[in-house]
Structure 1
Amino acid sequence: MLRRIAVFILLATLAFTVACTNKKVNNPLANVGSKQPDKVLFDRAMDAMKHNRFDVARITLQTLINTYPDSEYIARAKLAVADSWYAEGGSTSLAQAEAEYKDFETFFPNMPEAAEAQVKIANIHYQQMEKPDRDFTHAMRAEEEYRQVILQYPDNKKMVAEAKQRLLEVQEVIAEREYRVGRFYYLRESYPAAIARLQSLANKYPLYSKADEALFLLGQSYEGEITMVRAKKFAEVSKARMIQDLTKSAAEAYSRILTRYPLMDRVDDAKARLQALHQPVPRPTKQAIALNKREEESRRETPMYKQVIRNFSKRPDTEQAAKGGDPTLVDPPMTSATEVVQQATRAMMGTGGGADKNAVAIETVGNGAPPPSQPAPRSDAPPSDNAGAQPENSAAPPAEQPANELKPNVATDSNELKPNTPSDSNELKPNVSDNSGQTLPPPQQVNEIQPGQASQPADAQAGAKPGDSASSSSTQQKDDDETISSSKKKKKKGLKKIVPF
């Protein structure tokens, strides 16, 4: 009995061991029940990432990508490489993660993970965003990347909702920066620059938490311009035109506070300024009141301890950002200080919009019948009566050539018509005799050697004498004899007969 029990236990143990060794791997991407080598590499990389061994995970994933380029894990592997850089952190690692996410979007644009990759690219810049008075490069990049998420992947509701909320926070930081710059120009009484900044801010970021403050400073800047215009020595008519235009612009800024932000703090001040400028005070609609109420209720107050911590951190405060509404996806036209000055100048001159340098003039053509067309000129047409007459505006005839001028010897055509003019007696003519068509003999060659004449050097022929020629010939003959005798083979004598060399 005990033996049977022992055998039964042994068989059960063996069956359990075999079952454990043949355990199938659960593949989340493909329901394949075997241990594939690419799946093994992918699992090892994921395990390394869980234990923060990012370099080991990247090496394993690169091995998977290079060894199995047709694997079904390629997309997940490339995304995991980017995730490893993103999880590692640091400016260098985040920059590398952004490049990897961009590559993933390029190679796999239709996968659902492409929207996730774009959101993480925007989050990279969102994490590096600094305070409004610091470098705003990452804030601008984050705004651009979040806009790309909303515009490129509108069907991914989850990612679009996250991108919209983050975009509102980023735009809150950028708007705060623009407000501080505009306020600085206002305090320095540089009103055109302040107007340009504040006007662009009000048009671009309507959900800014201090939009009423920006519009009120905009109206105050226009009133500051009015004060400066009154102090200048202009013509009264021009001064009145400019003051009227500036007053209208200030009233528009104050009226916008009442109609768009009726529940904010600057409403009473805007009403007072409109009454002081003798301008009508508008009343807000119920829709505007409800919209502004929702915006104000969605904002959160920054706790006291966070305000203290913010002083020691470079991260911006985004608590005041609106939690609802649609952010600005397309930037409106920006206003520059130059445009503000030009507009004031046009208002002073009374030209309104100003003259357009690129204006096109229109010429009105009459309704009469066009004149008849002239016949086409022909080469065989007879000359007209006034063909020989010289027109008044024609060029003057060439001046007469002097009689003693040398003329080139140019062959003339026998069929050419020549004018019937008397010949000049002083004209040089070539000395050519008429041989009735016979060919003239060639001229005698001067340097040709005649038969029976010995050739001599030119310098010897030039100044040689008879005696000198005889002595030179004898010397030359003697040199020739010596050369011939030296070239002959001489007989050897004595020991030289034995020595062969």
Structure 2
Amino acid sequence: MNRLSRSFAALALASLVLSGVAAQAKEKKPKHKKDQDLSANPLAGVNSKQPDKELYDKAMLALKKGRFDVARLDLQTMLNTYPDSEYRMRAKLAVGDSWFKEGGTAALTQAESEYKDFITFFPNAPEAAEAQMKVGDIYYQQMEKPDRDWNNAQDAEKEYRTMINMFPDSPLIPRAKQKLRDVQEVLAERETQIGLYYGAKDNFPASIARLQTVVDTYPLYSKSDQALLAIGDAYAGEAHAVQMAPGLNGAVRERLRALYEDKAAAAYARVITRYPLAPHVEDARDRLVAMNRPVPEPTDAAIAENDAEQKSMQPIRFTNRALDIIKRGPTVVEAAHVGEPSVEDPKRTLAPDVTKENIALFNDALHEGKPATATTVTPTGPNEPPRSDEPSSVPLAPPTSEGTGVGVTIVNQGNGDASAAPSPNEAVPAGTPGDPNNALVKPVGPTNTVLPPVDKPAEAPDQANDIKPGTGQQQTAAEAAKKKPKADLNEESSSKKKKKKGLGKLNPF
């Protein structure tokens, strides 16, 4: 009985509660239409009932709800209908925002075109920095991992650098610098991986070129200490290769090994002085001690700078590694958040340049201690003035008209008096200035001035039909005048049949 009464009491209480709730629902005021949220509209606080402002607000509302085609249609209508509107600049930028928010390769390409047009039409407007920033964001969203295509990362770096250089007073500069640090982290990671691969294959020039580019271009890279350590290992590998090279002179081998070890020690020392709190500092110290080289001490400023960089870098967690497998873009949590990123790309270090440097080191080691080779003097041409470094030559006097013409004979006296010279038919006494033995320039050539006889060619043999001189018959003028008798034609033999004359025609024989 008690149990039954308790159940009835509970039912009655529940009915009373339900009736009270229904009464409150009936008495509740009707819900008013929610006000439009225009937080994404930069001109939402402008109270204006002008038609161009109404079109702009309508387009912003459609853009917020994801109706990008409607938003672009309203914005184009406003721009075409009210070309002198005070909202045309924001409307032009909003067209690019509609393509940017729509996403996709084609839409992002169109968004970049719209932003570039906005910068062209309004280069001095504050919104131009925003447009340039979004151009960099377009490529940032399409970045691949470090081991994939790096064209988008390169384009993003270029656009962010352009934004920082063109608009240094923009409030978006801190965000642009951080984006640039993230992009440079990806590019530096790519170059480092390639450099370590070449180092593992003992291709030391290529490895040094890649890693040196990372160290010079991206000083805020989270693994710069590892890149410097790999540079030192590459130079140490070259020193070991020289030590094991067969057929190399011992002195040259030792000099080359010392030069490469100096470069390796410089790379290890830079790890300690520039990144004193990095993970690979102890490895650099151990290598310097093993090479019997002094270990440098970092300055307080370097320690403070590297401490701030290390604290701004976030370590990669398990969730980051899991998301890295799923998502398309790279993981940039290790990028530094302090320091000035490089806004100008220095000259890249190429493998051929490193190879030329190695050749120069080899030549220096090979020729060290040897005297310098004398440079040969090239004589001047016939029409060129004489040089001071050219040795002087004694001019030779032209040969005189008398004599044999072989060599040179100086007959002038020491005082240069030409009248005292003997005549050509007189004999020159020995010991006089005109003596060839005492001349300043002695004759050149053989002493025998008698010319050899001229060799005659051998006579040709007589021909069979030639008439020797003196043996032929001499024809006088009288004989030549006589006429030669006519030849008897009857006595000549001929193969032709002769015609018969007179009675001979009747004789058949």
TM-score normalised to the size of structure 1? Answer: 0.63
Number of the residue aligned with 1:448: none
Distance 2:80 2:144 in 1: 39
Q: What CA distance in whole angstroms lies between the structure 1 residues aligned with 2:156 and 2:53? A: 35
Residue 304 of structure 1, CA deviation: 1.2
- Give 3-state SS (helix, strand or coil) of 2:238's partner: helix
Q: Give the secondary structure class of the aligned counterpart of 1:311.
A: helix
Specify which of 224, 231, 234 is matched with residue 218 of structure 1. 231
Letter in 2 for 1:135: D
Aligned equivalents of 1:319, 1:198: Cα separation in 2: 22
The letter of the residue matching 1:46 is M
1:351 Cα shift? Answer: 8.3
Structure 2 Cα separation of the partners of residues 193 and 215 of structure 1 = 14
- Residue 364 of structure 2: aligned partner: 350
Query: Which of 145, 162, 173 does residue 160 from structure 1 map onto?
Result: 173
Residue number among 197, 200, 204 corresponding to 2:210 in the alignment:
197
Q: What is the alpha-carbon distance in structure 1 between the residues aligned to residue 349 and residue 134 of structure 2?
A: 33
- Superimposed CA distance per residue, residues 299-349 of structure 1 (whole angstroms, 9 cap, x where no aligned partner): 112221221221122221111111111111112221111111111111111
1:188 equivalent in alignment to 2:201: yes
1:291 counterpart residue number: 305
> In 2, are the aligned partners of 1:132 and 1:177 still within 8 Å (CA)?
yes
Q: Separation in 2 of the partners of 1:27 and 1:125? A: 25
Aligned to 2:283: 269
- Asked if 1 retains the 8 angstrom alpha-carbon contact of 2:198 and 2:207, the reply is yes
Deviation at 1:236, TM superposition (A): 3.2
CA distance in 1, matches of 2:313, 2:386: 63
- In structure 2, what is the Cα distance between the partners aligned to 1:293 and 1:306? 24
CA distance in 2, matches of 1:290, 1:259: 12
| Higher alpha-carbon Rg | 2
Query: Is the counterpart of residue 141 in structure 1 residue 193 in structure 2?
Result: no
- After superposition, the Cα gap between the structure-2 partners of 1:283 and 1:364, relative to the gap in structure 1 and judged at 3 Å, is farther
CA deviation vs aligned residue, 1:37-58 (integer Å, no higher than 9, x gap): 3233222222221221111111
Q: Would the aligned equivalents of 1:131 and 1:315 in 2 still touch at CA under 8 Å? A: yes
Number of the residue aligned with 1:360:
none
Aligned residues of 1:238 and 1:349 also touching (Cα < 8 A):
no
1:364 CA drift (Å): 12
Is the Cα contact below 8 Å between 1:239 and 1:348 reproduced in 2? Answer: no
Distance in 1 (CA, whole Å) between partners of 2:104 and 2:183 is: 21
Q: Which residue of 1 aligns with 2:317?
A: 303
Aligned residue among 244, 268, 278 for 1:231: 244
Call closer, same or farther: CA 1:28–1:318 in 2, change over 3 Å: closer
> Does 2:112 correspond to 1:95?
no
Q: 1:105 aligns with which of 119, 126, 142?
A: 119
- C-alpha distance 230-32 of structure 1, shift in aligned 2 (>3 A): same
Asked if the contact 2:157/2:180 (under 8 Å) is kept, the reply is: yes
The equivalent of 2:69 in structure 1 is 55
State the Cα distance separating 1:275 from its structure 2 match: 2.1
Give unmatched runs, 5+ long, in structure 2: 1-40, 367-384, 389-509
Cα distance, 1:289–1:28 mapped onto 2, change above 3 Å: closer
**What is the TM-score of this pair, normalised by structure 2?**
0.62
In the alignment, is residue 175 of structure 1 matched against residue 219 of structure 2?
no
Letter aligned with residue 313 of structure 1: K
Q: How much has 1:36 moved relative to structure 2?
A: 3.1
Alignment of 1:282-431 (within 5 A): 282-350=296-364
CA drift at 1:242: 2.4
Distance in 1 of aligned mates of 2:129 and 2:42: 24
The residue type equivalent to 1:274 in the other structure is L
Q: For residues 197-251 of structure 1, give each alpha carbon's deviation from its aligned partner in whole angstroms, at most 9, with x where no partner exists.
A: 1111111111111111111111111111111122223333433332222111101
Calculate the aligned-residue CA RMSD, in Å: 2.5
Structure 1 segment 65-76 matched on structure 2, within 5 A: 65-76=79-90
Aligned-residue sequence identity (percent) comes to 47
CA distance in 1, matches of 2:335, 2:358: 35
Q: AA paired with 1:221? A: A
Q: Answer whether contact 1:262 1:288 (CA < 8 A) is retained.
A: yes
Tell me the distance in 2 between the aligned counterparts of 1:256 and 1:279: 13
**Unaligned ranges ≥5, structure 1:** 1-25, 353-362, 367-501
Per-residue CA deviations over 1:401-457 (Å, capped at 9, x if unaligned) read xxxxxxxxxxxxxxxxxxxxxxxxxxxxxxxxxxxxxxxxxxxxxxxxxxxxxxxxx
User: Alignment length, in residue pairs?
Assistant: 331
2:140 counterpart of 1:126: yes
